[in-house]
Structure 1
Amino acid sequence: MKDIRLTPAELALASAQEALDRRDLQGAVTAFAQARAAGASTRLTARGHALALSELGRHAEAVEAFKPLFAKAQKDGATVNLMGVLLKRAGRLGKAAEVLELARKLRPHDRSPWQNLGNVYEALGQPDKAAACFRSALKIEPTSATLWRLLGRQQMALSQTEEACDSFRRGLALAPRDTEMTAFLVQALQVAGRVDEARALIAKLCEERPGDSELAVIDARLSFRSGDVARAQAILNAVLAQDPAHLAANLQLANLIGDSDREQVNRALERAVAGHPDSFVALDRLTESLSRSRYGNEADHIERAYHLAKRLMERFPTRIPEAARTLRTILQRVLDEDRMAQTGSLDNLLPLWQAQGLHSSVHYELGQVQTLDDRLKLVDWHRQWGRRVARQITPVPPVALPALAGGRKLRVGFMSSDLRHHPITYFTLPLLENYDRDAVEVFCYSFSEKEPDQVQRHLEAQVTGFRHWPKRPDDQVAEGIAADGLDILFELGGSTAMNKLEVMARRPARLGASWLGYPHSAGLEQIDLILTDPYLQPEDPRLLIERPFAMPETWVALSRLFWPHEIAEGTPQTRKGHLTFGTANNPYKYTPACLDAWAAVLRVVPGSRFLFLRPEAGVGSFVAGARAAFARRDVDPDRLEFIGVRGDHMRHYNEIDIALDTLPHVGGTTTCEALWMGVPTVSLVGAGFPERLSYSNLSNAGLGDLATLSVADYVSAAAGLVAHPARRLALRHGLRAQIAANPLGQPARFTRNFYDLARKVASE
C-alpha cells in the first residue's frame, strides 16, 4: 500500500476542518493560522479563517484575514460579496457599501449582494437607497418573506405607510406564522389610521392560533398605543404569569410602565436579560433604563449601566451603531472618551437616527459641533426630522376664534410634563401666577406619569385649566388641546422624558411656539416661533427654523423657587485655603474642547482645584474617567474634587469660587443657579442657540464681561477673576441684589413683557 503523508499545511487544514465540524471556533482560527504559516494558499485558508474569526466577534481581524483572497479575486462576485458582509460586521459601513455595490454589479441576478447592500444602507440611515436594493432583490426572488419585511421597514422610515402595509401583507401571506411580520403590519396599519383593521387582523390570528403568547403581546402593544392601558397591562400580566422570562412581554411591559415606576421597569428588563442573555434588545434597553434610574443608589445604577454597555459593545460589535444612543449616553456619564470614539462619528450616526426618528438622541449631541457647517447640518437634520413626522399625521381641525381686537381674553397654553418641582417650573412660575386674569386665560398640559406633587397642585389652582393626561395618545392630546381654543401654545419639553413634541405637528393651536425644554430649533415647521432675546438669538438666521418670539430683554427670569438657599460667609478660597473652580453641568456637555479649556484654566492657576458637582461624581468609573481625562491634558488628577449629589446640590455651590461653563453647549439652569448662589460663571459665546444661553443670563445679571468670545478670552477671564478676590467676595454676597436690579431678577417685568408680546404676535 502506498504511503500517503500529509504536509504540515495539509495537516493544519484538516485540523481546522475538524475544529469547525465540532464548532470549536477558536481551535479553527488557530489551525487556519498554522496552515497559512506552513504555506497553505489563501484560496484554501482565507474564507474559513475569516468566517471563524467573524463568528467569534473578532470582525476587524476577519477583514484582515480575508484581504489576501479579496485582493486576488476582485472579479469574483461571491468573494466580493463576502468581503462586504465582513466589512459591515466590522462597522466599516461606508467601505462595505462600496464593496457591495461592486458585488451586485458582478452578480446582478443574485439576491444576496442586493440584500446585503440594502442592510448596509439601512444601517447608514439611507432608507431610500435601502428600499431600492430590496426592490431589486425582490425582482429576483419575489417569494421571499424576509425581503418584503425589509422593504416594508424602509417604507415606514420613508413615511410611505400605505406601501409598507402592502409589503407587510405580502410578506405575511408568504410566512403566515411570522410574528415579527405581524407586528410590523399591525404597527403600519395603526400609523395609517386603520386601527379597526389592525384589531381585526389580530383577532383573526388569535382565533387561528389560540394561546400564542407572541400574538398576545402584539395585541397588548396595539391596545397600549391606542390608549387602552388597562387592557394592555392585563394581557401582559397573563403572558408573564405563564412565562415570567417572556422576552417580548417584559419589553412591552417596560414600555407601558414608562417613567411612572423606573424600579418596576428595571425588574421587567432584568427578567428579560436573565432569560435571554444574548438578546441585544434586552441588553440595550436595560442599559438605557439603568442610566435613567434615580431611585435607591443612583451611582450603583450608573455603574451597572456602564458595565452592561461594555458587555454590549464586546458581544455585539457590529450593532454598536444601533445602540449608539444608549451607549453614548452612559459613556458620556462616565467620561469614557476611548469607547465614545468607538460608537462612531456624528456624521455617520445622524442619518441613522433620522431613519429611526430618534429626535431625543440628538439632544445630547448639540455640543458636538466645531464649524458653521456642523451647526447648519444639525439645523437641517431637525428640519428633515420634522418633515418626516409631519408626513405621518393629520392636523386637527382649527377652532374658530373671535378676533382679539374685539376685546376677548388672550388664550395661552403651556405644554410640558415638567410643570411640577422641576427647573422648567423655576422659570414658568411667574407666567402661571402673575398674569392678568382680566386679560389672559392660561392652560397647562402635562403628561407626567408621576403622582402630582405640591408644586403641580399649586399650579393647578393658579391657571384657567390644568390638563393632566398621562399615557394619552398624541392624537387625543391634540384634539383635547384644540378644544381649548388657544391663540398660542408654548411647548416646553422638547423630546425629554414624558413629553410629546410630535403633538405640535398636529397644530392644536393657531400658533405654536418653543421655549425652555430644548435649546435648539426642534425641527417641526408647525412650530411657528421660538422664544429669544437680544443675546440668545443667533446672528446667523440660518441657525433657526422658527421665527423669533423676540423678548425685549431676557428669555427667563428667576422665580421665588430660587429663594431659600443660604450663602456661606466669606468665599470658599478663604475658608479652604485654595481656589476652587467647578461645574454642575451634565457630562454630555463635557466635549473634548470643553475639557481642553478647563485644563488650560487649571494650568494657568497653580494650586487651584476643580469640583464636579453631579450625581455622576459619586460613581467610581466617572471619577476614574475624569482623572484620566485631566491627566491626558497635563493636569494632576489629584487637583480634582467630587461631590456626588442629586437634588440637594444648591448648598454645595458654597464650595465653588468660580464656575466654568461647558462649551460649546453651555449651561442654562445651572448658570442661573450658580449666579443665585453668588458664584460668578465664565462662559464662551458661540454661534448657535445652545451656545448662547449663559450669554443671556450673564448679560441680564450685569455680568456681561464674563461672556467671552474665544477660548483664550475664556481662560483669561477665569484667571482675571482669580486675581480679584475683592470682586469675588462682593459678588458672593451682593449678586442676588445685583440680579434683582437687572432683568434676570425681575419676574413681574418679564411676565408683562411676555404677555404683551404674545398678544401682539397673536393679533398679527
Structure 2
Amino acid sequence: MSMERFAQAEAALKAGNRDEGIRLTAEELTREPDAPVRVYQNFTALLIRQKLYDQAQHWAEIATSRYPRDYDLWNILGVALRRLNRYPEALKALDRAVKLNPKSMTAHINRGNIFNDMKNGPAAIEVFTRILRQGPTNAEHQRSLGRAFWNAGDLEKAEMRFNLAVKLKPDYVDAWLDLTSLTADVKSAAETLPVLDRAVAALVDSHRMREAKAVMLRRAGRNKDSEDYLLSLLTELGDQGWIHYQLGMTLADFDRVRTNAYLEKAHELEPDNAEFQMALAESYSRTRHGDEAQHLERAYQLLKPVIGKAGDGAGPVKVASDIFVRVADYDAADALGDFQHLGRLWASNGRHTALLSHLARVRTPEDRRELLHQHRIWGELIETAVARRPITHPAPRQPNGKIRVGFMSSDLRAHPVAYFSLPLFEHYDRARFEVYCYSYYTGQEDPTQKRIAGMVEGFRWNPDIGDRDAAQLIADDQLDMLIELGGSTHMNKLTVMAYKPAPLQASWLGYPHSAGLKAIDYLIVDPFMLPEHDGLLIEKPLVLPHGWFALSAGAFNERVAVQNPAPVARNGYVTFGTANNPYKYSRDLVRTWAKILARVPNSKFMFVRPEGGSESFRENLLAIFAEEGVSADRLRFEAVRGAHLPFYNEMDISLDTFPQTGGTTTCESLWMGTPVVTLVGETLFERLSYSSLMNGDLPELCARDVDGYIAAAVTLAENPDRIIELRAGLRERMRNSPIGQTTQFAHDFFDLIEKAVTGKA
C-alpha cells in the first residue's frame, strides 16, 4: 500500500468520514496484504485514537499474524481488546509484547491498567510498584497505584497515593477526581466538599473540578446549594454547555420543565456532545406534563443519531434500552447486547433500577438463574461499599411487650404501594405492635401521606437524607423488623437495607424479585407467588396464608362504575387490550397477542397507554401485528395516563404481559369487570396475576405455556356469555375473595411478622 493512499485514508478518518477511511485502507491492505509493518502500525493506532476499537482489533490481529515479532502491534492489539472489555485476551496480547520487549514500560502500564479495570488490586499493585521504582515522581503512575490499592481495599494507602499524585502534579484533574471519589466512598459527600474546595483552588480554570463540586453538593442532598453554585458559575463564566447540563441534572427530580430547558440549552451550545443529547433524550422520556407521547417521540428521535457515539457504558445503554423498548423498537433494543451482557453490565455498575426492566427479557430457566446472579453482583458491590462505613447500633430498648415494625418506602402517598399497604396501617393491633414509616419522597405531602402519618407511631420523612444517615436513623429507632416496599424504584433507598439497621429485614410489594442483598432475610409472598423450584429466591420466603395484598378503598372504589353488559354485547365483536407498561412488552409477547387476534375473527386490540400517541410506538406495533395478518384498523391506541379505568368499560378481555406479569394493572382490570388471561411462569415476577386470579377463583384464566395462553384467550373470546357473566360479577367476586378482606389480611400479615421476630416462622 502506498503511503500516499494511506495518507488519504488517514485524512478521511480525521475528517470524520470513517467509512471512507476504512474502505480505502481495507481495499489497499486486501490488495497488498504484505504492506510494510509501518502501515499496519499507523493504521491500527489511528483506529484506536478514533475509538474504533473493533476495527483496530480486527486489523491488529491480521497484522500480528503477518508480523508476529512486532512489539507495537501486540501492544495495540492489547489496547483494542481492553477497550472492548475482553480482558483475558488483552492480557495475552500484552504478555506477548512484554516478551518481545521486556524493557519497554508501555505494555507493562497497559497490563496494570487492565488489572485495575478487572478490580484485581493485588496484580495491579505488583505492576505499578515495579514501574514506580524506575520513576517515583511520575504522578500518573502514583495515581494508578492508588487505584490499585483502592481495588484491593487498602483505602489508606490509596488515599496516600492520590494525595502524592496531586502534590507531584497539582493540576492533575483525574487524580483529584479519584481523591474526591475515594473520600466520598470512605466518608461522606459532606466530608468530601473540603477536598473539592482544595481541588477547585488548585485548578481555578478546570471546569471538571467545579462540575465535580456541583455533583457532590447534589450527592450530599444539598440540591438547592448545587443549583445556586451553578447559577453563580453561569454569571461568572457565561453560557457554557456543562453548566446548563449540570443545572438540568440537579433539577431532574424536582422540576422537569426547567430541566428540559437547561438540557436543551446545553444541547444547543454543544450539538455534537453525545452525553448532553443522551441526557436530553432521557429527560424527555421521563416528562409527564403536556403531550407525553410527543415528549417520548422527541426522546426517541434524539436518541437514534447518538446511540453509536454515547458509548457502551451502563448509563447510556440503560437510557437507550428504556427508550427503545418503550417505543417497541425491539431490533434496536436487541442490538444493545444479550441478556447476560446487559444484566451484568448494569449490576456491576450499581444500576439496580435497570434490572427491573430486565425481568421482562427472561426466556429460559438459565435466564432465571442468571438474573438471580446479576442481582447478587449488585448486592456484593453494595455490601462491599457499605462495609467501609458501618453504622452504630444503640443498646437494646427496654421491652414494652410490643413488636416494633418499620415500613420503608417513598411511595407512602397517592401511589399504588400506599393503596395496597393501607390495610396494614388501618388494622394493626396497637396492643401488640408499634409501626414506624420511613419516606424519602421529594414532593409535597399529600392527603394519603398525611393520613398514614396520623395512623402510626412514627413517620420519618427525610427527602434529602443520604443512605447511611437514613440507615442510622432507622437503627436509632430500634426496630425488631424493617420491611422495604419500594426496591430501587424512583426515590427509594434499597441500599439502606445493606447497612442492616434492623436485626430482621424483609422485602414486600414493591419489587417482584429478590433484591440481591444478603442483609434482607425474608421475602413476603403468598402460596401462589412462591416459586415452583428451590434456588429462585435469595431470601427465605415468608408465606402469607391467602393473598399477597388486600384491596383498600383508596385504590378500589366506586368512583368509576362498571358498565354492563360487556362491550361484546354492544359491539358484536370481542375487544382485547392492555394497560400494562410497555417495559413489560417484547417482540414475542406482541406477536402472541397478534396470533390471538388472528384466531378471533373481527376482534380488536386496545392499547391504553400514554405511549399510544407516539407515531413510532404505533408503527412498530402495527408492523408486528401485520406479520400475523392483523390489519391496522383492528388496533386502537388510547394515549392516557392516570385516567385509564373508564377504558376497561370498552375492553372485554385483558391480555396479561409475560414473563413479567401485571400487578396493579391486573387488579384494576378485574375490579373494572375485565377478566385477565395470564401465563404462569416459574418464579415470583411471573406469578403476580396468578395470585390475584386464583384468589378470585378463576383458574381457567391461568395458562402454563404460550399455546395454553393463546387457547385460554381464544376460548373465552368464543364464549361471549361467559364474558358478560364475568363483567357483571367480578367486582363483587373480588370483594368476597381474600383480596377483599382487609382486616383479615392485616391480621395474617402481622401474625407472620410476629412468628419471624419470635423465631417461629
TM-score between the two structures when normalised by the length of structure 2? 0.89
Counterpart secondary structure, 2:301: helix
CA displacement at 1:242 relative to structure 2: 2.4
Stretch moving more, 491-500 or 74-83 = 74-83
Are residues 712 and 161 of structure 1, via their aligned partners in 2, closer, same or farther at CA, if it must alter by over 3 Å?
A: farther
Q: What's the counterpart of residue 680 of structure 2?
A: 685
Contact 1:398 1:510 in 2 (8 A): no
Q: What's the counterpart of residue 311 of structure 1?
A: 305
Contact 1:127 1:155 in 2 (8 A): no
CA displacement at 1:193 relative to structure 2: 1.8
CA displacement at 1:31 relative to structure 2: 5.1
Q: Which amino acid aligns with 1:184?
A: D
CA displacement at 1:248 relative to structure 2: 4.7
Contact 2:594 2:624 in 1 (8 A): no
Are residues 410 and 19 of structure 1, via their aligned partners in 2, closer, same or farther at CA, if it must alter by over 3 Å?
A: closer
Q: Which amino acid aligns with 2:376?
A: R
Q: Cα deviation per residue 1:221-266 (whole Å; 9 max; x = unaligned)? A: 3344334444333322211222354455444444433422222222
Q: Give the superposed CA RMSD.
A: 3.3
1:298 equivalenced with 2:298 (yes/no): no
Are residues 680 and 472 of structure 1, via their aligned partners in 2, closer, same or farther at CA, if it must alter by over 3 Å?
A: same
Q: Cα deviation per residue 1:671-693 (whole Å; 9 max; x = unaligned)? A: 11111111111111111111111
CA displacement at 1:585 relative to structure 2: 1.3
1:433 equivalenced with 2:426 (yes/no): yes
Q: What's the counterpart of residue 98 of structure 2?
A: 107
Q: Distance in 1 between matches of 2:257 and 2:147?
A: 32
Contact 1:25 1:53 in 2 (8 A): no
Q: 1:381 aligns with which of 371, 374, 385?
A: 374
Are residues 435 and 719 of structure 1, via their aligned partners in 2, closer, same or farther at CA, if it must alter by over 3 Å?
A: same
Q: Distance in 2 between matches of 1:719 and 1:421?
A: 37
Q: Distance in 2 between matches of 1:172 and 1:628?
A: 58
Q: Cα deviation per residue 1:295-341 (whole Å; 9 max; x = unaligned)? A: 2221122112212221221334x536652111111111011111112
Q: Which amino acid aligns with 1:429?
A: L
Q: What's the counterpart of residue 397 of structure 1?
A: 392
Q: What's the counterpart of residue 528 of structure 2?
A: 535
1:128 equivalenced with 2:145 (yes/no): no
Q: What's the counterpart of residue 3 of structure 1?
A: none
Q: Distance in 2 between matches of 1:748 and 1:562?
A: 16
Counterpart secondary structure, 2:623: helix
Q: What's the counterpart of residue 671 of structure 1?
A: 666
Q: Which amino acid aligns with 1:420?
A: R
Contact 2:263 2:276 in 1 (8 A): yes
Q: Which amino acid aligns with 2:417?
A: I
CA displacement at 1:623 relative to structure 2: 0.8
Q: Cα deviation per residue 1:339-389 (whole Å; 9 max; x = unaligned)? A: 112111122223322331111111110122223232122222222322321
Equivalent residue runs for 1:720-759 within 5 Å:
720-759=715-754
TM-score between the two structures when normalised by the length of structure 1? 0.89
Counterpart secondary structure, 2:607: strand
Contact 2:215 2:226 in 1 (8 A): yes
Contact 1:223 1:231 in 2 (8 A): yes
1:72 equivalenced with 2:63 (yes/no): no
Q: What's the counterpart of residue 464 of structure 2?
A: 471
Contact 2:526 2:545 in 1 (8 A): yes
Counterpart secondary structure, 2:359: coil
Contact 1:578 1:608 in 2 (8 A): yes
Q: 1:98 aligns with which of 72, 82, 89?
A: 89
Are residues 691 and 155 of structure 1, via their aligned partners in 2, closer, same or farther at CA, if it must alter by over 3 Å?
A: farther
CA displacement at 1:197 relative to structure 2: 6.4
Stretch moving more, 575-584 or 550-559 = 575-584
Q: Cα deviation per residue 1:132-191 (whole Å; 9 max; x = unaligned)? A: 468636744666545555665676677664454345334433432133432331121122
Q: What's the counterpart of residue 653 of structure 1?
A: 648
Q: Distance in 1 between matches of 2:740 and 2:229?
A: 53
Q: 2:609 aligns with which of 610, 614, 623?
A: 614
Are residues 144 and 611 of structure 1, via their aligned partners in 2, closer, same or farther at CA, if it must alter by over 3 Å?
A: farther
CA displacement at 1:664 relative to structure 2: 1.0
Aligned-residue sequence identity (percent) comes to 36
Stretch moving more, 596-605 or 42-51 = 42-51
Q: What's the counterpart of residue 578 of structure 1?
A: 573
1:186 equivalenced with 2:184 (yes/no): no
Equivalent residue runs for 1:307-706 within 5 Å:
307-316=301-310, 319=312, 323-393=316-386, 394-401=389-396, 408-560=401-553, 561-563=555-557, 564-706=559-701
Stretch moving more, 100-109 or 698-707 = 100-109
Contact 2:590 2:621 in 1 (8 A): no
Contact 1:682 1:718 in 2 (8 A): yes
Contact 2:176 2:199 in 1 (8 A): no
Q: Distance in 2 between matches of 1:578 and 1:75?
A: 75
Contact 1:115 1:134 in 2 (8 A): no
CA displacement at 1:209 relative to structure 2: 5.0
Q: Which amino acid aligns with 2:324?
A: L
Q: Which amino acid aligns with 1:753?
A: D
1:82 equivalenced with 2:76 (yes/no): yes
Counterpart secondary structure, 1:682: strand
Are residues 611 and 147 of structure 1, via their aligned partners in 2, closer, same or farther at CA, if it must alter by over 3 Å?
A: farther
Q: Which amino acid aligns with 2:438?
A: Y
Stretch moving more, 254-263 or 551-560 = 254-263
Counterpart secondary structure, 2:345: helix
Q: Which amino acid aligns with 1:234?
A: D
Are residues 633 and 164 of structure 1, via their aligned partners in 2, closer, same or farther at CA, if it must alter by over 3 Å?
A: farther
Q: 2:279 aligns with which of 282, 285, 290?
A: 285
Stretch moving more, 481-490 or 137-146 = 137-146
1:266 equivalenced with 2:257 (yes/no): no
Q: Distance in 2 between matches of 1:68 and 1:469?
A: 59
Counterpart secondary structure, 2:361: coil
Are residues 558 and 148 of structure 1, via their aligned partners in 2, closer, same or farther at CA, if it must alter by over 3 Å?
A: farther
Counterpart secondary structure, 1:442: strand
Counterpart secondary structure, 1:455: helix
Q: Distance in 1 between matches of 2:505 and 2:585?
A: 32
Q: Distance in 2 between matches of 1:496 and 1:360?
A: 6
Q: Which amino acid aligns with 2:563?
A: A
Q: Distance in 1 between matches of 2:15 and 2:397?
A: 80
CA displacement at 1:205 relative to structure 2: 3.9
Are residues 118 and 536 of structure 1, via their aligned partners in 2, closer, same or farther at CA, if it must alter by over 3 Å?
A: farther
CA displacement at 1:703 relative to structure 2: 1.1
Counterpart secondary structure, 2:322: helix
Contact 2:347 2:355 in 1 (8 A): no
Counterpart secondary structure, 1:364: helix
Where do 5+ consecutive residues of structure 2 fail to align?
none
Q: Which amino acid aligns with 1:191?
A: D
Q: What's the counterpart of residue 177 of structure 1?
A: 171
Counterpart secondary structure, 1:751: helix
Q: Cα deviation per residue 1:500-556 (whole Å; 9 max; x = unaligned)? A: 111111222232111111111111111111111101111223111112221110111
Contact 2:112 2:127 in 1 (8 A): no
Are residues 23 and 448 of structure 1, via their aligned partners in 2, closer, same or farther at CA, if it must alter by over 3 Å?
A: closer
Contact 1:672 1:697 in 2 (8 A): yes
Stretch moving more, 79-88 or 429-438 = 79-88
Contact 2:44 2:76 in 1 (8 A): no
